[in-house]
Chains A and B, each alone.
Chain A
Amino acid sequence: MLFYSFFKTLIGQQVTVELKNDLAITGILTSVDQFLNIKLDEIRAVDEAKYPHMMAVKNCFIRGSVVRYVQLPASAVDTALLQDAARREAQQPTTGGAH
């Protein structure tokens, strides 16, 4: 839940998603779900020369499982809070059946 919770706060921010096939896409994060599927808007491939076919695409849906990295805008990340959240997560019983 932490990642989902985290990515939700990034909605509306510009992120760069690196896929496992080495394609990197920059765009505005429109939405994300608990599988960390990602929807981007106003996208642009980082290496447009290599992926010219991406130039025609304006928005995309990325299945969470194909994401390798997501580059975040540093300003939108509250690291102290993230630490707290991680602690909280770690504290929770791992069985996950909290409620």
Chain B
Amino acid sequence: MSDSFFGFDTTLPPLNSDQSTGLSRTGEDYGVYDYEQNIDLDQLEEEADDLNAETFGDVGDIGQDFDFTESTAKIVDTIKKEEEIYVGRRESTTSDKGEEQSKRRPSYAALWGNDSDVIFNGKNNHSNEIVGAPSLSESPISPSIWGSFHAPSSRTEGGIIPTSFENSHHYTPPQTSPPPLGFGPPLHTSVRSPMSLEEIEAQLHRQAGVPEKRMLSLAEVEAALMSVNGRPPPPQHLMYSTNEATFRDQENLAFLEQEAAYREQEALLFHKEKKRRDKQRKLSRYNGLMTQSDKDFINRIQISQLVTDDPYADDFYYQVYTAIRSRQPQPSISTFSPQLGGSGFMGHERGRHRSRGSESGLLKMQQQVLRIVNDARRKPKLTQLSLEGALGKIALNSVRNPRQLLQVSSKSNDIHHVGPSNGSGSVHSQHQKIPSISSHGVIDHRKILKSIENVYTAVLALEELRRNQPPLPRPYADHERVAVERWNEEYVELAKTMWEELRVTEMNVCKGAIWGPQGNVSPAMLEEVELFMNTVVPPLLQFVAESPLRIVIGLFGLFIERNNIVWVARSKVGLAFLTMFLSRAEILKQGGGAMQGLPPPEELEMIQWQDLYNRLFSLLQNHFLSLYPPFMIGIDDMYVWQFLAAMAVGASTEQQHVLVTEVRERVLETVIQASRLSADKASHKIANVNLFLNALGLDASQLKNFEEEYSLHTNPQDIGNGEELPEDPIQDHRPRLLIMGQRRSGKSSIQKVVFHKMPANETLFLESTNKIVKEDITSFIDFQVWDFPGQINYFDSAYDSNMIFGEYGALIFVIDAQDDYIEALNRLHHTVTRAYKVNPDLSFEVFIHKVDALSDEYKIDTQRDIQQRITDELADYDLEHVHLNFYLTSIYDHSIFEAFSKVIQKLIPQLPTLENLLNILCANSGIEKAFLFDVNSKIYIATDSSPVDMQSYEICSDMIDVIVDISEIYGRTNSYRFTNDDFDQSQTDTNGHSGNYGTTTETANDASSLIKLNNGMILCLRGVNRFLALVCLLRSDNFEKHGLIDYNFQCFKEAIADVFELKRRNAERMKHERMGLIENVDDNVGG
């Protein structure tokens, strides 16, 4: 084995360094690369053996050790000096030092004086290794890639003894001859000589208690060595050694104490120890097989394989990962070679006490690695080796150049150097999600994937470019400036091509993310849209916001050309892009570019732009209204207004007129809607509309006119808290459900549970209502639910009771059955009398609520009691003819739905017809029970005339839940909706109110479902229209004739359609009336 003192490398440096001796003749060829290229190790060893002879034949040769170029004599001097200093210090502190000194001397003599012994089987490296580690016998010392394994567990058994044993073991080898102490013969004569030596040594140390001293001196020798070589060890290093000294003192004391104890027990422990030692010996048989330099050698090989110029290129994942997770890359490596890729190799040493041995090892490594890196830079790496006389070439495999298993002919690298200006990971994933097949045909799946890959490549290229951004040029350094300029050019070029590349993918995104006019989009889809909006749009926006008109025109042209604009514009994303271009162009047209240092747009550009604009306009003409998302879907349609505003700004007078004509209905509807909403929402809506109107040149006052004109017909009335309540013609026909009752009786909870599908147990967290909450419920009949706060007296003069009670509808009074209801009854009585006076047609419903906690008996009692009291009281006021309906309700079961069903049924003028239809259906199809459900609220609109039992209602309403849930998971969503003519029809029917039912559309239109119950019954669901579904319960025997049932059902469906057709016509008539009035407004706008 090739070794030298302290594991300093003897093999490599002479091969490599220039001042090496004659042997380096051959070494030059190998250089550092020997290791990298995995050249035969035997060769190396041979080489090394030669060196051994060379190195160790003469002590002076140690001086030729690579970095420690000083002569050995010097070193020895220093060591001696060092030693003397140390000894002096020692003597002043400890008492019996004479012996130690004498002992140390010989050992040093062995080390430094007697050359032949020194090199004996390389064990001296262990002394080096252990130097700094008196108490660290089980801590890893070598900087090896593998660190050190944990010490065998047996080692920890014996308190301090193992330590001494360990130390002695390491120190023995240099002393081939037993120290002159006349200690007894070897205890175990049977064992091999090194072992016995070790034991002797161990005994010796135990007697004298000095092992650490020698270590210390060696440590200092090392320190001296370092300083002699002009490589001052890091300050920490020195500090460490002094700390070490004191530490060792302490430990020595402790050791002595323990030693005394040990002596007492020695006899007892002797055989134990013997056993233990046997074991230890077995374990440590191979200790020291690898010397420090062996380990270093391997480390070098490893490192040389791993060093790289650009860690980001070769070690990308690790580098970025650590950066992202903000984990500190291992400091040990980064200190000495920031560019070193293989920074992970010492990771295991983090946080551990680092011994001095490893410090110096690190230092050595550092130098070597630096050399390796430099060499690697100087010479390109060989990938093949051609030997003289050989017929072929030998490929050299390495980590980065593994043997190729497949030979794929790589085409010329036509990597598009494109990439978005910020390549965030989420953007990538976004693109990747949507490799949809384009309708254009020319672009197939593969191409899309390819283009996505291109974008990636571009992003990566761009990232790399960014990393290599040249520093800002210093003045008068022309080449630097040139570099920067070139960099800038490249950068801009990349960013631009990236943009175009992105266009392709973006189109697909839009396509996937489209939500059409009535699109009911699955949540996942919405999420994707959201993601896209949040990640992709902002950077693009930024880019466009800085680009000159020329680029805007180009991009805009591309956008229009490559996309089906009418289609794309229906999506939020698409509109966002259009808005972006339009507004940017407008800004530039009006000279906004000057602020950014851009020249004003040229005439030609203006014309180009106008062309594009006209094209867009003509494309979108007749489609403006379809840009809006449906009302009631809960989507803020601000982006549409923004787009229209952007359109309007650039529009000619004629175009403006077209625009207004097309969207006036929406404007009107929004204003109407706004007036119904709470103040802040209303102002938001109005602001949206204003956005558009202002762009048209209509200002706020004109909008006022618009409103005034409108209000002439609507006659809004004030109800106390200043909210406007315009009643539009439709509203007159909209039945009203007034929910009243004491505070905390559960009014809002009822409303939430029934109409918002809120789980009953979540209603606990509802805030108390503090103003009248009006809500439009859109279903096959539209009605309004007014939720009144309990604490307000509506018969105050401040409230217009005509306004509140004047409409057709029902008053629901909620009484908390768990509470004391006397007060509630008073109030009910009061309410009924007043409301009756205002509107005798109002139907009064009393919900005895929260009965879920009451026992059945008590429920009935309560109901009877309440009923009794209220009828008595009403009778007192001569109002016994006022009929009140009482319901026991709870939100925790179906009773609330049933009660609501009954309430609502009374508001349906068509109810008798519907019931009749159902009766006929049941009679002719053998159906036991049929419900016509409103799918959204699970309220049943009508049922046949057979009595309703709770169970059948419950099971039917549960079925609706099941169907809705399943169709949400598996149902098709928007795509088919666009192709469905029927659907479009119904869209216009219920204009603006459709679309908030998710997949229930399917349930409604042609959905059908069948559930067989295990009691021989069948549950059958059929969709009737958008809102209604027929659920019936029939015996399975009867279902055999399901052709008949289907037919009957078809008839039923048509009949229902007829019934509601009538209603629709009425509604349309109303709409026409409204149209008339908008014409006036329009004249205002257009003229």
Please report A residues at the B interface, Cβ cutoff 8 Å: 1-2, 4-6, 8-9, 11-12, 30-35, 39, 41, 58-59, 61, 78, 80-85, 87-89, 91-92, 94-99
Contact = CB atoms under 8 A, between A and B. Distances in A.
A78 B345 CA distance: 21
Given A2-B316, A5-B315, A97-B380, 6 more contacts: A31-B345, A32-B344, A78-B324, A84-B316, A84-B456, A85-B316
Contacts of B474: none
Nearest to A34: B399
A47 B516 CA distance: 56
Nearest to B152: A58
B383 A95 contact: yes
Contacts of B305: 34
A5 B428 contact: no
29 contacts: A1-B399, A5-B316, A5-B317, A8-B318, A9-B318, A9-B322, A31-B146, A33-B302, A34-B306, A34-B399, A35-B399, A39-B146, A58-B153, A78-B321, A80-B426, A81-B317, A84-B316, A84-B456, A85-B320, A87-B460, A92-B313, A96-B383, A96-B400, A96-B401, A96-B402, A98-B310, A98-B314, A99-B376, A99-B377
Given A31-B344, A33-B302, A91-B415, A85 B381 contact: no
B345 A80 contact: no
B992 interface: no
A39 to B, nearest CB: 6
Interface string B504-519: 0000000000000000
B309 interface: yes
Given A9-B318, A31-B147, A98 B313 contact: yes
Given A31-B147, A80-B429, A5 B318 contact: yes
Given A9-B322, A80-B425, A91-B457, A96 B145 contact: no
Contacts of B770: none
A96 B402 CA distance: 8
Contacts of A4: 306, 315, 399
A54 B795 CA distance: 85
A79 to B, nearest CB: 9
Contact of B314 (A1, A41, A78, A94): A1
Nearest 6 Cβ contacts at the A-B interface? A96-B401, A8-B344, A85-B317, A99-B309, A80-B425, A96-B400
Contacts of A80: 425-426, 428-429
B41 to A, nearest CB: 15
Contacts of A85: 316-317, 320
Contacts of B308: 98-99
A35 to B, nearest CB: 8
Contacts of B147: 30-31, 39
A17 B857 CA distance: 67
Contact of A84 (B302, B415, B428): B428
Given A8-B344, A31-B348, A95-B401, A88 B316 contact: yes
A53 to B, nearest CB: 16
B94 interface: no
Contacts of B415: 91
Nearest to B344: A8
A88 B344 contact: no
Given A80-B428, A87-B456, A99-B381, A6 B309 contact: no
A12 to B, nearest CB: 8
Contacts of A81: 317, 320-321, 324, 425
A61 B146 contact: yes
Contact of A94 (B319, B324, B404): B404
B26 interface: no
Nearest to B339: A99
Interface in B338-357: 341-345, 347-348
B468 to A, nearest CB: 14
Contacts of A35: 399
Interface string B421-457: 0000110110000000000000000000000010011
B330 to A, nearest CB: 9
A68 to B, nearest CB: 18
A32 B456 CA distance: 29
B410 interface: yes
B970 interface: no
Interface string B840-868: 00000000000000000000000000000
Among A9, A39, A82: residue with most chain B CB under 10 A: A9
B206 to A, nearest CB: 29
A84 to B, nearest CB: 7
Contact of A9 (B153, B321, B398): B321
A11 B344 contact: yes
B271 interface: no
B35 to A, nearest CB: 13
A94 B413 CA distance: 12
Given A9-B318, A96-B383, A97-B380, A58 B313 contact: no
Given A31-B344, A99-B377, A99-B381, A59 B309 contact: no
Contact of A98 (B302, B316, B400): B400
A40 B302 CA distance: 19
B976 interface: no
A84 B401 contact: no
Contact of B317 (A12, A34, A58, A82): A82
A83 B381 contact: no
Contacts of B347: 8, 11-12, 31
B149 interface: yes
A1 B400 CA distance: 6
Contacts of B428: 80, 83-84
A30 B150 CA distance: 12
A59 B153 CA distance: 11
Contacts of B453: 87
Given A11-B348, A31-B146, A97 B381 contact: yes
B398 A96 contact: yes
B135 to A, nearest CB: 22
B26 to A, nearest CB: 24
A64 to B, nearest CB: 11
A1 B376 contact: no
A11 B774 CA distance: 60
Nearest to A35: B399
A33 B153 CA distance: 26
Contacts of A99: 308-310, 376-377, 381
A98 B541 CA distance: 38
A1 B321 CA distance: 15
Contacts of A92: 313-314
A81 B12 CA distance: 39
A94 B411 CA distance: 12
Interface centre among B324, B343, B344, by most chain A C-beta atoms within 10 angstroms, is B344
A84 B315 contact: no
Contacts of B322: 9
A59 B149 contact: yes
A8 B344 CA distance: 6
Contacts of A33: 145-146, 302, 345
A34 B680 CA distance: 63
A66 B245 CA distance: 46
Nearest to A95: B383
Interface centre among A8, A31, A35, A82 (most CB of B within 10 A): A8
Given A84-B460, A99-B310, A2 B146 contact: no
A2 B317 contact: yes
B401 A97 contact: yes
A34 to B, nearest CB: 4
B149 to A, nearest CB: 6
A49 B616 CA distance: 74
Contacts of B342: 34
Contacts of A41: 150
A11 B348 CA distance: 8
A85 B428 CA distance: 13
A60 B324 CA distance: 30
B403 to A, nearest CB: 11
A97 B453 CA distance: 24
